[in-house]
Amino acid sequence: MPEYQGPWGAPPPPRTPGSRREFPVGIALWIGVIVAALAVFALLSWKFPETLSKGDRPDAWYLFGLLALVSSGLIRLRRVDLPATLRSLLIWSAILSLLLLGYVNRGELEAAGAKLRTALIPEQAMSGPKGEVVVGRGANDGFYVAGAINGAPARFLIDTGATDVVLNREDAARAGVAVPAGAFSRPSETANGVGYGAPGVVKTLTVGSIRLSDVPVQINQAPMSTSLLGMTFLKRLDSFQIHGDQLILRAPKTSG
């Protein structure tokens, strides 16, 4: 028994002298698929004009070229197995519709993906759809984030009510920030009362894609479970805001 070749692979019937030339069913279907795709795209662009910019047009043409290449197997079609052909066309139509809907709503999908990632891994800074850094709210209602001081890893609590960037002694040591003897002389208000810190400056402080240079810090004398990012850090950003369970940080327009 010959192997089934699918609706596109049926061999053409033998031609006899004087027989009429067959109508090119495959070419007609292939052109129809491309025209239908263009029509759907034009309809979506008309309904949602704000979602397609000039910079997006090369991506759209790339998708059309890919569709034309993948569906070019239709050209080989000579005889129609109607149930199989309809089934295949429905599958392709569904795939095309999902691709176009995903492309048109890509901004919302990216935002939903970022929200899901921050919910699953709240301390991992994520990049938002507009290049901002998104931090998820932790289990104890605080915004904790993994960052770096002078390239050394550190864990921070972002506190809009705090004034300074306060490092615990472990993070300061990993970052190579030296604390001279007797330097813990500056008093500061903390949640546990008055604490004493030593002033210093770190060359770089990094949170996600945000990288600040020459940041003044306080190294806390008392033990701290995590370092603290206060207004000294936040004021150097372009903006920051809390939106639901997300803290959105926007990098300064100028580096450092």
Give the pLDDT of residue 107: 63
| Residue 9 lies inside a defined structural domain of this protein | no
Give the pLDDT of residue 21: 52
| Residue 5 lies inside a defined structural domain of this protein | no
Give the pLDDT of residue 39: 78
pLDDT over threshold 70, residue 132: yes
- Which of 104, 131, 165 is the last residue in one of the domains? 104
| Residue 95 lies inside a defined structural domain of this protein | yes
Same domain, 161 and 234: yes
- The rounded percent of the chain whose pLDDT value lies above 90 is 18
- Residue, of 67 and 162, whose pLDDT is higher: 162
Q: Tokens representing 139?
A: 């289990």
Same domain, 126 and 246: yes
Question: According to DSSP H, which parts of 127-229 are helical?
Answer: 169-174
Same domain, 68 and 127: no
Q: Band of the pLDDT at 28, cuts 50, 70, 90?
A: confident
Chain mean pLDDT for the chain: 75
pLDDT over threshold 80, residue 136: yes
Mean pLDDT of 204-215: 92
- Which of 104, 129, 163 is the last residue in one of the domains? 104
Give the pLDDT of residue 80: 56
Same domain, 94 and 157: no
Same domain, 63 and 150: no
Same domain, 137 and 229: yes
Query: For residues 232 and 216, is the Cβ–Cβ distance under 8 A?
Result: yes
pLDDT over threshold 80, residue 163: yes
CA gap 89, 33 in Å, rounded:
9
Same domain, 123 and 233: yes
Give the pLDDT of residue 55: 57
pLDDT over threshold 80, residue 65: no
Same domain, 239 and 140: yes
Q: How many CB atoms lie within 10 A of CB 108?
A: 12
| Residue 99 lies inside a defined structural domain of this protein | yes
Number of domains in the chain: 2
Same domain, 87 and 185: no
Strands 166-167, 239-243: pairing is unpaired
Give the pLDDT of residue 8: 47
| Residue 174 lies inside a defined structural domain of this protein | yes
Q: Which helix (H) or strand (E) holds 219?
A: strand 210-220
| Residue 7 lies inside a defined structural domain of this protein | no
CA gap 36, 183 in Å, rounded:
74
In the chain, the amino acid numbered 20 is R
Give the pLDDT of residue 203: 94
Residue 180 sits in a domain of what CATH number? Answer: 2.40.70.10
Give the pLDDT of residue 188: 66
> 89 CB contacts (<8 Å, ≥6 apart)?
29, 33
Which value, in Å, is the radius of gyration of the alpha carbons in the chain? 30
Same domain, 241 and 126: yes
Give the pLDDT of residue 227: 92
- Which of 104, 138, 173 is the last residue in one of the domains? 104
Q: Which residues span the domain enclosing 55? A: 25-104
| Residue 6 lies inside a defined structural domain of this protein | no
| Residue 10 lies inside a defined structural domain of this protein | no
Same domain, 90 and 134: no
Encode pLDDT of 72-94 as tens digits: 766 666 565 657 766 776 787 77
